[in-house]
């Protein structure tokens, strides 16, 4: 049985107490990290009567010890406490359960659950993004193509921890490029939607949504949007690893309030925006590499010359927002930067769409690792050198017109 909220005998591990105290401190200071952003998304939906279901490897604790939604009594075996099931007297059910390393079977089950209960937020999380390889048949045969084949809509969410962290050839790639290749938006067509309905129409016409969020607030909105949309589409989230505890990746409570929403693209709002005509380089990127890029630019003292925009929703591609951002910096050369290898990641997907967005008036350059059949190097030293070379390319202005 789960401990009740009135059970004073329940004794969680002392390390967990520190985590909970830190969360309370964040609430008091009105800022959130990734885990709290996720918890707030779940909690607000539960209060609204929306059933939330999360399964996958080690999801109760979180692979990176960030979630801790199910607490264990350190003195009593099998005595647990599910925090989000104790928020409100009339809330919906929160189901969170660890699963075996049987991705094909588990993901297939969760897909079926999402089809049977479209009004629930159903989530499957891989322990590392690469683990979705074991369920590729489910993705190809059902998730990406289910609506087209059988007119069945699923709102299933896949959380795939992703990022080049120097952890070796595995655990470093959720194979973002596979999901993008399966996306159905036309790279050569700028959608002809009215401005006020552009976002929703794009989502309605796509077969699935692929995002790589950089802030807890945007992740919060991405999860809630799954239920608030008047239709259902699978959502693929390239979840971070290092951003779970990065201070720069915190969000304010103000970004969650009524009137706020998911941002498909975060534009440059710093010094380059104030000196737009002097900007020589406009870099688009997605995911955690944004923070590395901004840090490197700050060290190089080239803040005025290099602008950086974050594409948070990769598919469907935000043609309108990209076009607007390019127009903000009329003299800048365009680049796409990524930490994945050139034949992986988002580059081959975004390149033709950038050309369409700017009506082929400007080319889009590439900043990143060279081609490789492996998701990452098996050498920590090689990884560091590759990253250093990438950062040097970010701040290089060689060959650009003055």
Q: Could you please report the per-residue DSSP string of 151-170?
A: ------EEE------S--SS
- The reply to whether 72 and 215 lie within a common domain is yes
Peptide bond into 316 cis (omega under 30): yes
- The reply to whether 198 and 274 lie within a common domain is no
- The reply to whether 216 and 291 lie within a common domain is no
What angle is formed at CA 173 by the lines to CA 129 and CA 297, rounded to 5 degrees? 120
386: in domain: yes
206: in domain: yes
In angstroms, the CA 148 to CA 179 distance is 16
- The reply to whether 234 and 307 lie within a common domain is no
1: in domain: no
pLDDT higher than threshold 60 for residue 6: no
- The reply to whether 18 and 158 lie within a common domain is yes
326: in domain: yes
Digit-coded pLDDT (tens) for 161-200: 999 988 878 788 899 999 999 999 999 999 999 988 999 9
- The reply to whether 109 and 205 lie within a common domain is yes
pLDDT at 173: 83
402: in domain: no
Instruction: Select from 256, 275, 304 the last residue of a domain.
Output: 256
- The reply to whether 115 and 49 lie within a common domain is yes
Domain that holds residue 293: 266-395
Residue with tokens 């004073």: 8
CATH assignment at residue 139: 3.40.50.12470
pLDDT higher than threshold 80 for residue 334: yes
Instruction: Select from 199, 223, 256 the last residue of a domain.
Output: 256
Q: Helix, strand, coil: what percent of the chain each, to 5?
A: 40, 15, 45
Number of domains in the chain: 2
- The reply to whether 218 and 309 lie within a common domain is no
Percentage of the chain exceeding pLDDT 90: 81
pTM given for the model: 0.95
- The reply to whether 182 and 274 lie within a common domain is no
What angle is formed at CA 226 by the lines to CA 220 and CA 230, rounded to 5 degrees? 135
What average pLDDT does the segment 131-153 reach?
95
Read off φ and ψ for residue 328, nearest 5 degrees: -70, -25
Instruction: Select from 208, 227, 256 the last residue of a domain.
Output: 256
Give the DSSP letter of residue 86.
Answer: G
- The reply to whether 121 and 242 lie within a common domain is yes
The residues, ordered by sequence, that sit 6+ positions from 281 with a Cβ below 8 Å of its Cβ are 305, 306, 307, 332, 333, 335, 397, 400
Number of other CB atoms surrounding residue 303 within 10 Å: 14
CATH assignment at residue 290: 3.40.50.11610
Nearest to 201 by CA among 212, 213, 189: 189
- The reply to whether 168 and 55 lie within a common domain is yes
- The reply to whether 85 and 114 lie within a common domain is yes
131: in domain: yes
20: in domain: yes
What average pLDDT does the segment 99-122 reach?
96
Of the CA atoms within 13 Å of residue 170, those in its CB half-sphere come to 6
Read off φ and ψ for residue 128, nearest 5 degrees: -135, 155
Q: What's the Cα-to-Cα distance from 364 to each of 22, 325, 359, rounded to whole Å? A: 43, 14, 12
41: in domain: yes
Most distant pair of Cα atoms in the chain: their distance: 70
Residue with tokens 């991705």: 103
- Band (pLDDT 50/70/90 cuts) for residue 3 is very low
What average pLDDT does the segment 338-355 reach?
97
Digit-coded pLDDT (tens) for 234-264: 999 999 999 999 999 999 999 999 999 999 9
Q: Could you please report the per-residue DSSP string of 88-101?
A: -TTPPPEEEEE--S
């Amino acid at each position: 049985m789960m401990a009740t909220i009135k059970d004073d005998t329940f004794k969680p591990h002392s390390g967990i107490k520190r985590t909970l105290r830190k969360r309370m401190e964040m609430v008091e200071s009105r800022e959130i990290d990734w885990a709290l952003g996720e918890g707030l998304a779940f909690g607000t939906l539960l209060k609204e009567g929306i059933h939330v279901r999360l399964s996958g490897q080690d999801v109760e604790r979180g692979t990176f010890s960030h979630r801790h939604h199910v607490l264990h009594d350190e003195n009593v075996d099998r005595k647990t406490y599910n925090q989000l099931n104790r928020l409100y007297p009339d809330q919906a059910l929160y189901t969170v359960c660890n699963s075996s390393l049987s991705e094909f079977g588990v993901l297939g089950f969760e897909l079926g659950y999402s089809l049977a209960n479209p009004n629930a937020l159903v989530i499957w999380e891989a322990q590392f993004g690469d683990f979705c390889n074991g369920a590729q048949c489910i993705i190809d045969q059902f998730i990406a193509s289910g609506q087209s084949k059988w007119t069945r809509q699923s709102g299933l969410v896949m959380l795939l921890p992703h990022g080049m962290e120097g952890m070796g050839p595995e655990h470093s790639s959720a194979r973002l490029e596979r999901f993008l290749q399966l996306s159905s938006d036309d790279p050569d067509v700028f959608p002809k939607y009215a401005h006020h309905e552009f976002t929703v129409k794009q989502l309605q016409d796509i077969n699935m949504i692929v995002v790589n969020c950089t802030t807890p607030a945007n992740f919060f909105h991405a999860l809630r949007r799954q239920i608030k949309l008047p239709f259902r589409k699978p959502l693929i989230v390239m979840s971070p690893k290092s951003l779970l505890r990065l201070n720069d990746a915190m969000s304010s409570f103000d970004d969650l309030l009524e009137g706020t929403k998911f941002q498909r693209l975060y534009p440059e709002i710093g010094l380059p925006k104030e000196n737009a005509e002097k900007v020589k380089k406009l870099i688009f990127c997605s995911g955690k590499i944004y923070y590395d890029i901004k840090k490197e630019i700050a060290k190089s003292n080239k803040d005025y010359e290099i602008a950086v925009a974050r594409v948070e929703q990769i598919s469907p591609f935000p043609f309108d927002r990209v076009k607007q951002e390019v127009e903000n910096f009329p003299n800048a050369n365009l680049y796409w930067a990524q930490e994945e290898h050139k034949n992986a990641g988002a580059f081959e997907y975004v390149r033709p769409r950038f050309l369409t967005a700017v009506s082929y008036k400007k080319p889009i350059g590439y900043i990143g690792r060279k081609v490789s059949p492996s998701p990452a190097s098996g050498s920590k030293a090689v990884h560091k050198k590759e990253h250093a070379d990438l950062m040097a390319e970010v701040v290089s202005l060689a060959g650009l017109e003055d």
